[in-house]
Amino acid sequence: MINILANDGISISGIEKLKKNNFNVDVNSVLQDELSDVINQKKISVILVRSATKIKKDIIDKCPDLKIIGRGGVGMDNIDVEYAKEKGIHVINTPAASSSSVAELVFAHLFGMVRFLFISNRQMPIEGDTNFKKLKKSFSAGKELNGRTLGIIGFGRIGQEVAKKGIGLGMNVLAHDKFTKEANITLNFFNGEKKTFTIETKEMDYILKNSDFITLHIPKTDEKAIIGAEEIGKMKTGAGIINTSRGGIIDETALMFALDKGKLSYAGLDVFENEPSPSTHLLMHNALSLSPHIGAATKEAQDRIGIELADQIITYFK
């Protein structure tokens, strides 16, 4: 029997599918520094991770019997993908499974930002019974998303899913991508009707200068932050920015400075430079809408991820 270690968990639907096909699935999480020993002791052939566990060169070298490294999600920066392939290890991920969930979180942050829910939810429990009128006045300058311009940096599956939701809200959608020149965005309506929009991508500077809100959907690189002080300086005064992609894509120091000076009005962060211990100063900032890296953390997405991983594993071995 082939042994699988789902170190960061896997959905029940994924486990059931694997077990029906005679795979043994272990969901007991192992500490990073004990991982290679456990893989060898338990004769693990497949290691499945999400963002918490790292599978780098040291583990790959110590675990010669590994056949598959699987990432439940899109980003692969916690895996030495090319090195694993050089060693004959099959590397898989689930790029399409969580697109809708991440896109919905983008708009959860967006709606919360423009209507000040991120800060009113903190202050209402403290002052709601004594300063109701004051709070009402403070949070009465909200904006509607309809008619605003949404800039999407990174126009792959998730970026295109964000575009669908933005178009549905009546937003003007702009996009930038290094590899995609244009994309057909099809909205499927409840009654079976469809409407397709073609979006041609623009240069990054154009997106920065012309967007009311910017959302990031690009992989992390080893280079400097993609959105730093220079890029923020090109954005509209009073704009907002959202990162549900990877920590480190935005220079957090430059972001807080821009918020303090009023260059940006608000930001939404689901990911952070120093996960799982983000800067306390960042977490306490009153212009930030925050969530703890939950972009793909919906029941529906986790079911799709588990089944997609299971299908790829079953196909590989059988």
Q: Is 300 a catalytic residue?
A: no
When pLDDT is cut at 50, 70 and 90, the band that residue 239 belongs to is very high
Query: At residue 221, does pLDDT exceed 90?
Result: no
For the stretch 157-171, pLDDT in tens is 999 999 999 999 999
- 73, pLDDT greater than 90: no
* Mean of pLDDT values over 233-237: 98
Q: How far, in Å, CA of 36 to CA of 45, rounded?
A: 12
Q: Which of 273, 293, 304, 308 is catalytic?
A: 293
Its pTM surpasses 0.85: yes
**Stretch 208-226: mean pLDDT:** 91
Q: Which residue of the set 157, 246, 285, 304 is catalytic?
A: 246
* Banded model confidence at residue 74, pLDDT cuts 50, 70, 90: confident
Structure token pair of residue 261: 């000076």
pLDDT 10s digits, 260-310: 999 999 999 999 999 889 999 999 999 999 999 999 999 999 999 999 999
Residues composing the chain = 318
> What's the pLDDT at 223?
73
Which residues, in sequence order, are CB contacts of 104 under 8 Å at separation 6+?
A: 165, 298
Q: What is the pLDDT of residue 75?
A: 79
How far does Cα 83 stand from its chain's mean position? 24
Half-sphere CA count of 93, side-chain side, radius 13 A: 14
Concerning whether 115 is annotated as a catalytic residue, the answer is: no
Catalytic-residue membership of 293: yes
Any idea which of 141-150, 193-202, 218-227 has the lowest mean pLDDT?
Answer: 218-227
Rounded-to-integer distance, Cα 188 and Cα 196, Å: 9
Half-sphere exposure (CA, 13 Å, Cβ side) for 264?
A: 30
Q: What are the chain's domains?
A: 2-95+299-317 (3.40.50.720), 99-290 (3.40.50.720)
* Non-local CB neighbours of 33 within 8 Å, separated by 6+ positions: none
Q: Which of 16, 104, 127, 275 is catalytic?
A: 275
Q: How far is Cα 308 from Cα 96, in angstroms, rounded to an integer? A: 9
Q: How confident is the model at residue 179, as a pLDDT?
A: 94
Report percent pLDDT > 70 for the chain: 100
